[in-house]
Amino acid sequence: MNQERIMNIVLVAILVAIVYLIYTKNRTPGGTQSEKMLKELYSIKDALIPKKYIEKYRSNGNNGLTIIGTAMEQMVDIMIAILKQKPTQEIVDSFVRESVDATTIAEAIETVGKEIVKEISQNDVLETKEVIGKVLNKQGEVIEERKRTIYRPKREAMQTIARNVGKNGVLKVLEDESKYDKYYDATKNIILDIDRKTNPDATDERFPTKEVFKSEAMPRLIEEIKGKLERV
């Protein structure tokens, strides 16, 4: 499986979860998945910009929030623009044959996502450091030294977050054997459906049987992740 096909699978799998989450929260009856998703995206944009007559996000007295809010607004605009395209609407409306598949993936993402939020809330991702900066003249001579504060990613915190999310989030999902049947069905249905829509040489025979998935594929994946976590 080449990199382009892998990226297609990852992208559409994420869209499956987003569509499901938006679908369950959208109380407006009727309409296709893409229509419901568009309505929710417009609602998100309205929430970002409380004053309806202001097209751009601005935060009075908080320049950093203005930048972050603008970035969020542009991300929503980009998602809306992509979802308005007919081919995108067609694939969003067609690749989820069973709602239980979307539910299975969404719940797994929620489990990992909650653990990420928990760990970030308990570990600062940035640290401060005092450094001495030198001011040079045209001849390269030091004419002044200034103390300033710099912000750097906190390596130890990043490693802690990665380890705990892997252990309490990712492995928690993968080691739950009671859901292996659902994992298999969702993975098979969605990946094969994506493969059929993006790969002209797609064949169902390449996907493993349920027994191989449960007895070989999942244990192998778990061991690989444990090995990576030990090296973090």
Residues 62-104 have pLDDT tens digits of: 777 778 778 888 888 888 888 888 888 887 777 666 778 878 8
Task: Give phi and psi for 174, each to the nearest 5.
Answer: -70, -30
pLDDT at 26: 47
Give the span between the Cα atoms of 35 and 30, in whole angstroms. Answer: 9
Q: Which residue has the tokens 């928690």?
A: 172
Give the span between the Cα atoms of 204 and 95, in whole angstroms. Answer: 15
Give the span between the Cα atoms of 75 and 73, in whole angstroms. Answer: 5
pLDDT at 74: 85
Which of 70, 33, 12, 60 has its CA nearest to residue 195? 12
**Whole-number percent of the chain with pLDDT over 90:** 33
Contact 129, 150 (CB under 8 A): yes
- Residue 16 DSSP class: H
Contact 36, 23 (CB under 8 A): yes
Indicate whether 193 pLDDT > 90: no
Contact 137, 165 (CB under 8 A): no
Task: Give phi and psi for 223, each to the nearest 5.
Answer: -65, -40
Q: How far is CA 32 from CA 36, 57, 103, 213, in A?
A: 6, 29, 17, 33
Would you call 231 helix, strand, or coil by DSSP? coil
Report pLDDT digits (tens) over 112-134: 999 999 999 999 999 999 988 88
